[in-house]
Amino acid sequence: MKLNLKIWRQDSFEAKGAMVNYPLDDVSEHMSFLEMMDLLNETLVQKGERVIEFDHDCREGICGQCGMMINGRAHGPLANTTTCQLHMRSFKDGDTIYIEPFRATAFPIIRDLKVDRKGFDHIIQAGGFITVSTGQPPEADSILISHKTAEAAFDAAACIGCGACVATCKNSSAALFTSAKISHLALLPQGKLEAADRVINMVDQMDAEGFGHCSNTEACEVECPQAISVLHIARMNYEYNKALLLK
Ligand code: FES
């Protein structure tokens, strides 16, 4: 198929960016979206032009590195799908596709479609872990966890940290990401000891990074490739208020 691609190009954070038009032929419907971008970059290399930079790693929907706004939607038109798992059969011959980076003040553009998401790393560093003594791993059955609790914690742990929630939210809030990481540990007995400090530190760090506040539009849940539920945001708020009361 033939496509008309309109792609955001920006040399650096300080540079002024612009949409640039790229017609592309011979796109197979079996290609993934990133393979289509590879094909475009090959044509740019042949012409001696700078390639379009974009993040990717696993290309299996696991790592959360890929992320683009495709026709105005994070990761494109399909629900619960990362950009790397989106295929060109979701588009039609002759389509015009608008491709932009995830936009948020807390995700500064590095170049073209690549953004700096280390704000997420800082939130995790503020408390998204459990402090344990080193040594032999404990016996697997030494802490009993109900199936229901394990499933709920796993649903939260499924967040791949791609940032689609931030890019989709009109406030650029990181509440879905942060709450998933807090929920995951707050639900499990291993996470309860440090729960109060964790939630306060992570929420404070989220604010310090420049992410906006959640105003409950729930757009984040709709665009999340892992279908992380906004119920985790409610749990984060509950845990945060409980921690403040207990302090
Ligand atoms: S490249 Fe890893 S999730 Fe898309």
Task: Tell me the pLDDT tens digit for each residue of 95-113.
Answer: 999 999 999 999 999 999 9
Which residues lie closer than 8 Å to 171 by C-beta, 6 or more apart? 212, 213, 214, 215
Alpha helices, DSSP H only, in the chain?
33-46, 118-125, 147-157, 164-168, 175-187, 195-208, 219-223, 231-246
With tokens 């030494």, the residue in question is 142
Structure tokens at 56: 């990717």
Neighbours of 19 (CB within 10 A): 12
Q: Whose CA is nearest to atom 3 of ligand 1?
A: 61
Report pLDDT digits (tens) over 61-99.
999 999 999 999 999 999 999 999 999 999 999 999 999
Residues flanking ligand 1, CB < 6 Å: 56-59, 61-66, 82-84
- From 82, 114, 159, the mutation candidate for ligand 1 (largest count of ligand atoms within 8 A of CB) is 82
- Do residues 91 and 24 touch, judged by C-beta distance below 8 A? no
Residue 1 vs residues 4, 30, 32, 61, 70: alpha-carbon distances, Å = 10, 11, 13, 25, 18
The rounded Å distance from CA 81 to ligand 1 centre is 10
- From 37, 38, 65, the mutation candidate for ligand 1 (largest count of ligand atoms within 8 A of CB) is 65
In the chain, the domains with their CATH numbers are: 3-110 (3.10.20.30), 118-246 (1.10.1060.10)
Q: Is 80 exceeded by the pLDDT of residue 133?
A: no
Report pLDDT digits (tens) over 114-131.
999 999 999 999 999 998
Backbone angles phi, psi at 159, to 5 degrees: -55, 125
Give pLDDT, residue 140: 80
The rounded Å distance from CA 33 to ligand 1 centre is 11
Task: Report residue 221 CA to chain centroid gap.
Answer: 12
Give pLDDT, residue 164: 98
- Do residues 109 and 17 touch, judged by C-beta distance below 8 A? yes
Atom of ligand 1 nearest to the CA of 67: 4
